[in-house]
Chains A and B, each alone.
Chain A
Amino acid sequence: SQQGEEDPQALSIQEGENATMNCSYKTSINNLQWYRQNSGRGLVHLILIRSNEREKHSGRLRVTLDTSKKSSSLLITASRAADTASYFCATDALRGAQKLVFGQGTRLTINP
């Protein structure tokens, strides 16, 4: 079954507003990563947060991780039209497995 699930499935906001996307997962993890995908092609890595970290920042991105709730959130501040894309969280299992398990993604639309 799918490890990560994003919420909401789609989000539409005005340029300049903040966008928050959530991700839940089911099993213990080593780390959680967020990716962006434009036009259904290659994924761009945004940020990696390890299981012993609670919050991480990168530019306008802020990621939190709550391992007790098995959830993560991605906040994009001061959104821009160029942020329009699909956003995926991906997790790796705690033991052995090297594969990433992706959620279904959140489709974010920034309206000018």
Chain B
Amino acid sequence: GAGVSQSPSNKVTEKGKDVELRCDPISGHTALYWYRQSLGQGLEFLIYFQGNSAPDKSGLPSDRFSAERTGGSVSTLTIQRTQQEDSAVYLCASSLAGVAGDTDTQYFGPGTRLTVL
């Protein structure tokens, strides 16, 4: 596709369950980012991938959160034992470069709205 895609668009889960969120970046983009946006707030950085490696995981809020990227393309964000405070829109972005010293334009997907009951 032409843009970043994410699935599912909406996810409702019960507290304590695990969830997986998927991101398909723009073809050829080497850098991939996950952000989280709580209701009425700005975006909060979670993790950044350059290729398949994650040089910056500083935004992951707890060890219940993990992410991987395979083949330099698709990424999955996993939240284990979900809590109600995990409810938010999870946004993925990709960019061409991400080379240290400069940041390219990041293109965002439509997000996954996660609701933990």
Contacts and interface: CB of A to CB of B under 8 A. Distances in A.
A90 B42 CA distance: 10
Interface residues of A, number: 27
A48 B108 CA distance: 15
A62 to B, nearest CB: 18
B42 A100 contact: no
Given A30-B102, A95-B101, A100-B33, A45 B107 contact: yes
Contact of B103 (A30, A42, A88, A103): A30
Nearest to B112: A41
Interface in B13-49: 31, 33, 35, 37, 39, 41-45, 48
Contact of B106 (A40, A100, A104): A100
Contact of A42 (B31, B55, B91, B105): B91
B66 to A, nearest CB: 17
Given A40-B37, A99-B48, A99-B56, A45 B42 contact: no
Interface string B100-117: 111101111111010000
B89 interface: yes
Contacts, number: 71
B59 interface: yes
Interface in B53-79: 55-56, 58-59
Contacts of B45: 99-101
Given A41-B89, A41-B111, A42-B110, A33 B105 contact: yes
A42 B56 contact: no
B23 to A, nearest CB: 12
Nearest to A89: B42
Given A98-B98, A99-B33, A100-B45, A43 B103 contact: no
Interface of B: 31, 33, 35, 37, 39, 41-45, 48, 50, 55-56, 58-59, 89, 91, 93, 98, 100-103, 105-111, 113
14 contacts: A30-B101, A41-B89, A42-B108, A45-B108, A95-B100, A95-B101, A97-B56, A98-B33, A98-B48, A98-B50, A99-B45, A100-B35, A102-B42, A105-B42
